[in-house]
A and B are shown apart, each in its own frame.
Chain A
Amino acid sequence: MTQEITGPESPTPQHLPRFVLPPLDQLARFWLPVGTVAVATTVALVGWFTQPDRLVRGYAPSQPIPYSHRLHAGTLQIPCEYCHSAVRRSRHASVPPVDVCMNCHRVTKTDSPAIRQIADAQATAKPIAWQRVYLLPDHVYFDHRPHVVAGILCQTCHGPVETMEVVSQQMSLRMGNCLGCHRDPRAALPPDSPITRAPDNCATCHR
């Protein structure tokens, strides 16, 4: 190899710097340990920075309307299901149509710019594009209904939403999150619940 490049019959033009491999001794003493450490560090760092929990937990996109769950669900004590009303009727909890906001805001804080934005949306029947916070991985189907009916609180998965000014993701939605609870759901369930185990078949979620 080195012969080919550094040999006297090499066609390399004279004005280019000549590439010379360091001697074997230097390779073994210096470059090998440094390279090993560098590769290991890179793997560790990439692994650390891309681990799903770290990457997705705390994701809190800014929303088109600065809606505060702390005010509505916390201070005002509006039940979650007042707005997320599909949670017992379909697998989605649902984000409410602006009509629901305007049930109160027709008379409340009507001059706030955000509320005017909602009123405009209602008048033009143009939906508000909320930023999605929780996104299930592909091929997974989650149904809110059985969980809500079993008495599991929204906060079990979504965290203390009533304290959040901007909603952030609290659970990383990895399969371990689901399976851990399905195999031993007692911590999530009300104390008097008769349920001791939830199904852990693949087709429960994947189909």
Chain B
Amino acid sequence: MSRRRFLTLLGASAAFAAGSGCSRIDRGTILPAARKLPEAVPGAAVRYATTFSEGLDSYSVLVKTREGRPIHVQGNDLDPLGRGAAPLRAVADVLRLYDPDRLRHSLIDGARTSWDDAVARLVQGVSEASAARHPIVLVTGAMPSPTRRALVADLARVLPTLEHVRWEPVVSDEEQAALRACFGNLTRPRPRLERARALLAIEADPLGDGAPADIAAFADQRRPAAESDAMNRLWVAEARLSLTGSKADQRLPLRPALAARLAFALARSLHALGLPLPAGISADLLAPFEPDLIARENGVPPAQLRALASDLAAARGAALVLVGPCLPAAAHVAGHLLNAMLEADSHTLDVGDARDDDALATLADVRALLERMATGKVGAAIFWGANPAYSFPDEGLVRAALERTPVRAAIALHRDETVSLCSLAFAEHHWLESWGDHAPRPDLLTLQQPALLPLFDTRPGEDVLLTLLNRLAGTATTEYAEYLKERWRREVHAGRYPVPFERFWHSVLHDGVLRRPATPRPTRRLQSEAVATAARAAAQDAPSRGLDLLITRGPLHDGRYSNNGWLQELPDPVTKLTWGNVLSLSPADAHRLGLSDGALIRIQAAGAVLTAPVFVQSGQADGVATLALGHGRQTGGVANGVGVNAFRLLLHSGGPALLRDVSISPTAASVVLPTAQPHQRIEGRDIVRSVTRAQHVRRLAAPPSESEPLTLYPSAAPAQHKWVMAIDLSACVGCSACAIACQSENNIPVVGPEQVRRGRVMHWMRIDRYYEGDSDRLRVLTQPMLCQQCDHAPCEPVCPVNATTHSAEGLNQMTYNRCVGTRYCANNCPYKVRRFNYLDFTGMKTAPETLVFNPEVSVRPRGVMEKCTFCVQRIEEARAAAKVAGRPMRDGDVTPACAAACPAVAIVFGDLMDPASRVAKLARDPRGYRVLAELGVRPAITYLYELKNPPEIPAASDDDPGGTRGR
């Protein structure tokens, strides 16, 4: 091209560009709903009650939909297991619905096909296998759904060779073995934390790993209103630092391999304090467990173990011992013994509320099955919600097993590791698209209903089985929705209710839950032989020579959530690390091995080798390393290659487990860990205040005077409302559900590990975690930190373009279209809560990813500052609704996403101008303080300092009126 022609074209294109810029903007079209539906009001949110199920647990939740697409998940007040809060992963899982990596259609040999063709192929293969009397294997998760189980039972009648294997890779085999040995069945009673005055968690993490109701029950006892109110006492004996451990009143170091010995020593101490042993167990059995010796063996001062024993003994009938899933069976047996001595059953352990669990397959069962498959003895295998190619330790065996199985099908949400080994893959609905029912407790049924039409060419997994039934036995329906309703008509309603079935059905659909009369359950009896066997084994136990490795359940569960960017980027509440798992070591061990954060090491255990980065974890017991499950996937655009697959090490026992004598060898390489909080120590400042009960009482008698600093700024004129928040640090356990709910509500982008390393995490709500003291007396201080909506906000006067201003109602407003990105405001913010869009994190997104956005909140472009708005969209919505109703706004009208998601009800939001509002009362609470009040910025958030309830142990002085001062 000549220069002249180039210039001609350049000029022409500039002219055309200028010309087209003069035409009017395309305003698009409005597509009203084709049908007039009572629910379809554009712009109005509709909520549906449905059920989130994961492993053995199910929770009824409310799904908020806008224009027919789910955008937010919150708790259902009627669900006793959630108590109004949804579990963190349920809130985050709305993102997986719109995951672009979802399997969008069925596959035959990896190629796209129609559902009907795939089903026809399966029917043919299964009928052939059945005719040849070959076993047909169905591998699923725990399936706490009665109708699903009825469906499998129906199918088993047609296919006599059907074997149903229920396998949960993150349910501990050891725990199950101990239950079976001690009680002869697998009923798991529900812990009732609200009744426990003394609580001992041995490597257990009920606050990090339990139901929202557990956190609520715990938190309820941590905020005494009056001086006379009782507070529970939480003892934690653990090797790793868990969320529960960070909340403990007293934390004891533990060698997990010797946990059973510690528990038996405790039993002996309790017996010495006059608690009778269960029938059939003699005191001689406990003779080898000399409490003082065993305390020293674990590095616990004997006085502390004695204090623990007397505390538990004094709280008999209101005491509870929880044993973590990763501990060996003997420790679980010892835990059952302790609970029996403390009369926990029917008090703090609700046996009547137990889940009926017939046996889940253990790792050994699955191995036996795969070995049978590898010999070619199995005619057909169907994997439904199970991914053995990832979560079974021996990938080679899975490959061999599947290669020799003629019909291998997977019903899956993603094109996961198992799908790629199967000849048939059925694209399944997400749970928000499906029908279903669940029985989380014997007296509770919950319904699951779709909140939108399917996004892709998917069907419910049940339809595969129903079609099999239909083709093989000629049953009527191939639609699971129909099957479910029919079964409910027949078995649940069954004429027992005074209303006709249709009305009954709609009422249960509306509520989401159905309470049924509980059937009384016989009390269980501890088998003395099991205890004797475990005690004799524990008496012989010696400390490991090498390193003990705890494989723990992580935030990604069994890896099914690993493609969820929200969960990957949610900082672990304790380590504050994002994206991937790490091998945590104690500071002393790391120092001994010359390792620091991010150093890559090779872990060798039972023949398997993994290379993972090291993280030096304060508060971790010496001689113990921990590694979380759920990472190291080989598929998924987000998950692939993030972290290491700890399932590969679990060669002998399934689920969270303890591996003894693991050898680690440093490598020369290292990585930079993507941490959300590079600074760990509180450095003696009183940002996060935590005091003991005794100090609190003294402060009440003589309140310290904290005067407001002088200011030159004029005070704001009183307006009709003043929005403020109160956060009770005593109730907050740091679970981070608020952070995920905020991310979902406010369209907060995921930035990826590289940007996290540069400190560009975008969370508006973060949980700060600080350490105080040395490893022996480590205190963990946790604090939710968000924009404090200061009355004299330092960010406002420095903005050169007035993009951040103050509203008459006390909100520190952010106007995105004014912001030019100077970042002066973030630099001037003492709380470091402002977030800058360094890159265009959302602009490149296309459907289906964009469908998860909340249409009430702007999606911020590159170069714009953002921060917590106190969910101003919810304030404005409540204001409009109040105006339509012709009434003033009332306390409780506005609940920001974080407050709604908090299981502990630690966050309260409201109007300070209403003196009767909950938040106004909390703002006057004697525990209240404001973070960095000395700066005179007048934050709108009142923190209530944490109360701890340490036992009276002599020697150590914890008398420090300044709160957290003195390290």
Contacts and interface: CB of A to CB of B under 8 A. Distances in A.
Interface of A: 49-50, 55-56, 59, 61, 86, 88-92, 94-100, 121-122, 125-133, 135, 137-139, 141, 143, 145-146, 149-150, 199, 201-204, 206-207
Contact of B884 (A56, A95, A121, A149): A149
Given A135-B27, A201-B808, A207-B858, A86 B43 contact: yes
Interface in B856-907: 856-858, 869, 872-873, 876, 879-881, 883-884, 886
Contacts of A133: 27
Nearest to A121: B34
B805 A126 contact: no
A114 B356 CA distance: 63
A137 B25 CA distance: 11
A118 B112 CA distance: 38
Identify whether the interface residues of A are mostly helix, strand, loop, or mixed.
loop
Contact of A201 (B22, B31, B41, B807): B807
A147 B872 CA distance: 19
A207 B41 CA distance: 22
Given A49-B22, A90-B44, A94-B43, A99 B27 contact: no
Interface of B: 22, 24-25, 27-36, 40-44, 805, 807-809, 811, 813, 815-817, 856-858, 869, 872-873, 876, 879-881, 883-884, 886
Nearest to B869: A207
A203 B30 contact: no
A94 B815 contact: no
A139 B858 CA distance: 6
Contact of A132 (B30, B40, B41, B884): B30
12 contacts: A90-B43, A92-B43, A97-B35, A121-B34, A127-B31, A132-B30, A135-B28, A141-B876, A149-B886, A203-B811, A207-B856, A207-B872
Nearest to A137: B817
A50 B24 CA distance: 10
A5 to B, nearest CB: 17
A130 B873 contact: no
A145 B34 contact: no
B42 A203 contact: no
A168 to B, nearest CB: 13
A89 B817 contact: no
Contacts of A56: 24
A138 B807 contact: no
Nearest to B811: A203
B30 A125 contact: no
Contacts of A139: 815-817, 858
Given A90-B42, A202-B807, A207-B857, A146 B32 contact: no
Given A135-B27, A201-B813, 20 more contacts: A49-B22, A90-B41, A91-B43, A91-B880, A92-B42, A99-B36, A128-B32, A130-B30, A130-B32, A133-B27, A139-B816, A139-B817, A139-B858, A141-B856, A149-B883, A201-B809, A206-B813, A206-B858, A207-B856, A207-B876
A86 B33 contact: no
Given A88-B884, A94-B43, A149-B883, A206 B34 contact: no
A132 B41 CA distance: 18
Contacts of B30: 95, 129-132
A207 B809 CA distance: 15
B34 A122 contact: yes
A97 B808 contact: no
Contacts of B811: 201, 203
B807 A127 contact: no
Contacts of B886: 149
Contacts of A201: 807-809, 811, 813
A149 B883 CA distance: 7
Contact of B29 (A90, A132, A141): A132
A143 B876 contact: yes
A204 B31 contact: no
Given A100-B36, A127-B34, A207-B876, A94 B41 contact: yes
Contacts of B31: 127-130
A166 to B, nearest CB: 15
Nearest to B45: A90
Nearest to A98: B34
A97 B32 contact: yes
Contacts of A199: 808
A141 B815 CA distance: 12
A86 B34 contact: no
Contacts of B884: 88-89, 145-146, 149
Contact of A97 (B27, B33, B856): B33
Contacts of B42: 86, 90, 92, 94
A146 B28 CA distance: 26
A131 B33 contact: no
A122 to B, nearest CB: 7
A202 B813 CA distance: 7
Of the listed residues A56, A130, A203, the one surrounded by the most CB atoms of chain B closer than 10 A to its CB is: A203
Contacts of A138: 817, 858
B396 to A, nearest CB: 53
A31 to B, nearest CB: 22
Nearest to A96: B32
A139 B813 CA distance: 13
A154 B520 CA distance: 63
Nearest to A125: B34
A138 B22 CA distance: 19
Contacts of A143: 876, 880
A189 to B, nearest CB: 14
Nearest to B871: A207
Contacts of B879: 146
6 tightest A-B CB contacts, nearest first:
A90-B43, A201-B807, A99-B36, A90-B44, A92-B43, A129-B29
B807 A95 contact: no
Contacts of A61: 27
Contacts of B869: 203, 207
A137 B27 CA distance: 11
B34 A126 contact: yes
A59 B805 CA distance: 34
Nearest to B856: A141
B41 A89 contact: yes
A145 B883 CA distance: 8
A178 B727 CA distance: 36
A106 to B, nearest CB: 13
Contacts of A129: 29-31
A98 B25 CA distance: 27
Contacts of B27: 61, 131-133, 135
A178 B44 CA distance: 23
Nearest to B808: A201
Contact of B34 (A97, A146, A203, A207): A97
A144 B148 CA distance: 46
Contact of B805 (A96, A122, A202): A202
Contacts of A203: 807, 811, 813, 869, 872, 876
